[in-house]
Amino acid sequence: MNIILLGPPGAGKGTQARHLVETRGMVQLSTGDMLREAQASGSEMGEKVAEVIARGELVTDEIVIGLIREKIAEGAEGGFIFDGFPRTLAQADALTVLLSDMGQSLDAVVEMSVDDAALVARITGRSTCGDCGEVYHDETKPWPADGKCTNCGSTNIKRRADDNEDSLKTRLMEYYKKTSPLIGYYYAKGKLKKVDGLASIGDVQAAIAEILG
Ligand code: AMP
């Protein structure tokens, strides 16, 4: 099964993708994570995209499609979860071609809808464990008082440089201008399924499980 988690920054795509990886053995392909890894490794591409990401703008289609092409070629027995990709119509078309070249297709596109005020609150308080990726939030799920991640015991707390109000405004604008047309695109293809991204993590997990069957 191959699915897309579609939604604005802060909708909970990463959290739900992690759960699907743990429970269904699917492979999460997050272009945001791949780009941050490229930045951390100091590669030429990583340096090229650093400022674009910090501003909250989209990286070129060519770069992200290249990253996804490499990963799809590796295959995934449990199927792929596309998290943060595609973000433009050109990326969506490229994904169709990449999957069909591997004899595969998309099974569902899960749209996670959340209102804008909630997104700002979610993103500005967000942190993650730098070792295992567990997601925390200053108000709803604070980093434990003993300083250790509840999942893996690491003390490596991370906050994304682009999780601030200025970058977030641009990221939201990019989402509405370039990514939200994908909702109509996948609806027309008969792939779109909606879930309420404002529901609790468990309720969203259940709604996605029902869609995936
Ligand atoms: P994310 O972790 O998905 O929120 O992505 C963080 C940032 O990486 C975005 O704000 C973009 O600058 C860049 N990025 C991630 N995925 C894509 C994509 N599919 N297309 C273009 N830029 C992307």
Q: How far apart are CA 78 and CA 134, in angstroms?
A: 21
Q: Looking at this protein, which amino acid is placed at residue 38?
A: A
Give pLDDT, residue 12: 93
Please indicate whether residue 123, judged by its CB atom, sits closer than 6 Å to ligand 1.
Answer: no
Dihedral over Cα of 162, 168, 170, 176: its sign: positive
| 127-150 confidence digits (pLDDT tens) | 999 999 899 999 989 999 999 999
Ligand 1, residues 34, 35, 39, 172: which to mutate, most atoms within 8 A of Cβ?
A: 35
12: left (phi over 0), alpha (psi -120 to 50) or beta: left
* CB-neighbour burial class of residue 139 (10 A; exposed 0-12, middle 13-18, buried 19+): exposed
Q: Which atom of ligand 1 is nearest to the CA of 83?
A: 3
d(CA 159, CA 168): 14
Question: For residue 134, which amino acid is it?
Answer: E
Residues labelled as active-site residues: 13, 87, 126, 160, 171
Q: Which atom of ligand 1 is nearest to the CA of 167?
A: 10
Render pLDDT for 167-201 as a digit per residue (tens, 0 to 9): 999 999 999 999 999 999 999 999 999 999 999 99
The answer to whether the CB of 136 is under 6 A from ligand 1 is no
* Confidence category of residue 5, pLDDT binned at 50, 70, 90: very high
Ligand 1 pocket check for 87: Cβ under 6 Å: yes
Pairing of strands 3-6, 80-83: parallel
Q: Is the pLDDT of residue 165 over 90?
A: no
